[in-house]
Structure 1
């Protein structure tokens, strides 16, 4: 009974959150995920005490996390980010990883290597899904700045997942690398299949069942997701890696085999994800958020502004140094702010860290709290730095140089 009440409350919050985002957008553009987490905190044990998690809610939350990472993988357009831009993005992230692991081990406070890895990888992530709508609304997504931001953000989502698979498997580094290579080979085989021309009937079945109860394409997407999750789990890798790979493969399949139907299929998958599973994950994150530990006035409260600063230094400094030379100083500053915006993967990584017993709830709350602040202020500062607004268009001239 308690689980049913909690699920009803979660879905009520999921409905209320976009309404609040719509109302506040007149004065301030607040990302939807902020409302979902904050409202989850409000109904959770530390405030009103109305909602409590259990086995059923936890399973649905894990499905939401998998769907979130799947959609992140689907967003990445490797055909648009290549050459020097991709190379600089990879090197910037590797430099961030070195800085992040160093900071993580220092902040692990005697917690060991694994704890340092959880903290360090969280510091290297970028909330691509949060900044893409703002870039789209400001008219920057299709330009040079948007391409570079997409590259930096894509690597900032892909890199931490790879790092966790390598560093947190519990195996020796050489064996971890071998297992990861084996997974990459199997994923490459799936990509090869995805890119091969499909028979005409394949696209016809997708089109004909798109608005029927058969929903062939949606069922195929679900199969690819669970198959890659199962493969990753069978090989002892983090399931997030499987979800991410499934998103990349799905994009190749749909755009290659049924380009005319791909957007419609994606809208259906997004409806399942963003309409049910993903908001459930974020609301549950809020319910499990240890607000009491964060506000107790101890180390955890001090960690929040420190983590926020580290997002800028760890992720932002390498981006500033390795950004393409053709970007002006204002654009480079905005790129740093966008790149240092981090929340969804921070939530995912800290959730896994708490489940594995490597992070305590207070430290996880400090990291998630810093991510929430970053999503709230960094993109807005970036748009202001470029002389733009989230609604699109220039605010003033001379935005390309500083």
Structure 2
């Protein structure tokens, strides 16, 4: 069995090992499972042990996982809650981030390369943060809503920038194509909001526990249709996935709560139980460690990019801090806002494919993104959280109150 075939067995094995390792150290500290998926992918990949090689099948499954990650992010955002001033402030923060990122990019890679660097440094991995916020019971708190709106702008606006400035088309044509997509997506959102969904809800309910599973099939069709539209218009596929999630949220908004929760569980099972882990594991497998460690300039850029993520996104995130936020809240908010990886992976791949940046710069950016995922959410939730969120609740109950 070659390394490519072995990967089809080892990837599921590593996907099972990751939560076991995460649960194993949870009595000490809650480390996001993504940390283990990335590290295990690097260890099993060509960079270290060479047990898993990049293959076409794994790449496609990874792409599906990334699309579902953005779908789930789009489906979890309550746009009515973040519209208005929160969205405006987060958008201003993103614009400041990308302008400062252009300055850094110009110093390192003048030309189109600086746009790649700026977009990468202006991103926030909302899809990565949402499971962490959910596990910490923070999604409905002012802090969680602030992270959500920062993540929404830091995930959606970079996709717009990629479509406008890194497209193979001229900028005016790219703008026209993007506007066409916005019009079509807006029409779909309008229809989802206005058209009655009673029969759809009834059919979803009737097939929840049968082999028909219409709701799951409808979601997959929705994702495929919007992703296909994005690809057909030569836009980033993640735009379509994100919008598909927003449409699905609208469709299920008026469904019975029990049915909506059942569907959410099924979608999360497919996403976080199957495809999303493949994306993070494959990101580790595909990481060009050699390009990083053999280039002194890339090694120097890695901490620079990591620090730039923290400074650019962490400082501008303060514009979205909820009223009455403490210093700990602001620190945690900045750390979570500086967490970026999916957009960085996507934009650096475009940059390398079109010779905008070299492989060393791409490896340094992806490496910084991986370190941000490894470190920032963990430190942020340590700063933000209390003992009950950071250690096993059973152990907390066994500790005398004076020792907490």
TM, length-normalised to structure 1: 0.89
Structure 1 range deviating more: 363-372 or 307-316: 363-372
Deviation of 1:123 after TM superposition, in Å, equals: 0.8
Structure 1: gaps (5+ residues) = 396-402
1:312 pairs with one of 310, 313, 329: 310
Q: Is contact 1:289-1:361 (8 Å) kept?
A: no
Find the counterpart in structure 2 of residue 277 from structure 1: 275
1:332 aligns with 2:330: yes
1:16 aligns with 2:14: no
- Residues of 2 paired with 1:338 and 1:390: CA distance? 20
Find the counterpart in structure 1 of residue 142 from structure 2: 144
SS at match of 1:94: helix
Q: Is contact 1:138-1:390 (8 Å) kept?
A: no
Aligned positions, number: 391
Deviation of 1:257 after TM superposition, in Å, equals: 4.6
Deviation of 1:91 after TM superposition, in Å, equals: 0.8
- Residues of 2 paired with 1:46 and 1:378: CA distance? 24
Q: 1:269 to 1:356 in 2, by over 3 A?
A: farther
1:38 aligns with 2:34: no
**What does 1:41-56 correspond to in 2, within 5 Å?**
41-56=42-57
2:164 pairs with one of 163, 166, 189: 166
Find the counterpart in structure 1 of residue 206 from structure 2: 208
- Residues of 1 paired with 2:273 and 2:384: CA distance? 32
SS at match of 1:142: coil
Q: Is contact 2:32-2:378 (8 Å) kept?
A: no
Q: 1:355 to 1:67 in 2, by over 3 A?
A: farther
Find the counterpart in structure 2 of residue 84 from structure 1: 85
SS at match of 1:79: helix
Q: Is contact 2:121-2:309 (8 Å) kept?
A: yes
Deviation of 1:193 after TM superposition, in Å, equals: 1.4
Structure 1 range deviating more: 291-300 or 77-86: 291-300
Structure 1 range deviating more: 236-245 or 302-311: 236-245
**What does 1:308-387 correspond to in 2, within 5 Å?**
308-321=306-319, 323=321, 326-386=324-384
- Residues of 1 paired with 2:304 and 2:276: CA distance? 28
- Residues of 2 paired with 1:237 and 1:50: CA distance? 34
- Residues of 1 paired with 2:198 and 2:385: CA distance? 48
- Residues of 2 paired with 1:328 and 1:282: CA distance? 33
- Residues of 2 paired with 1:69 and 1:359: CA distance? 25
Find the counterpart in structure 2 of residue 240 from structure 1: 238
Deviation of 1:214 after TM superposition, in Å, equals: 0.8
1:263 pairs with one of 254, 261, 264: 261
Deviation of 1:357 after TM superposition, in Å, equals: 4.3
SS at match of 2:47: coil
TM, length-normalised to structure 2: 0.89
- Residues of 1 paired with 2:382 and 2:50: CA distance? 39
Deviation of 1:205 after TM superposition, in Å, equals: 0.8
Q: 1:135 to 1:11 in 2, by over 3 A?
A: closer
Structure 2: gaps (5+ residues) = 397-404
Q: Is contact 2:31-2:378 (8 Å) kept?
A: no
**What does 1:210-225 correspond to in 2, within 5 Å?**
210-225=208-223
Find the counterpart in structure 2 of residue 74 from structure 1: 75
Structure 1 range deviating more: 18-27 or 192-201: 192-201
Q: Is contact 1:210-1:217 (8 Å) kept?
A: yes
Could you say what the CA RMSD is over the residues aligned between the two structures, in angstroms?
A: 2.4
Find the counterpart in structure 2 of residue 29 from structure 1: 30
Find the counterpart in structure 2 of residue 107 from structure 1: 108
SS at match of 1:256: coil
Deviation of 1:258 after TM superposition, in Å, equals: 5.4
Q: Deviations over 1:324-377 (max 9, x none)?
A: 564344432322122112223323333443444444433233222222222233
Q: Deviations over 1:17-65 (max 9, x none)?
A: 1111111222232221221121111111121112112222222222222
- Residues of 2 paired with 1:71 and 1:199: CA distance? 20
Find the counterpart in structure 2 of residue 398 from structure 1: none
Structure 1 range deviating more: 7-16 or 144-153: 144-153
- Residues of 2 paired with 1:61 and 1:178: CA distance? 30
- Residues of 2 paired with 1:125 and 1:197: CA distance? 34
Find the counterpart in structure 2 of residue 400 from structure 1: none
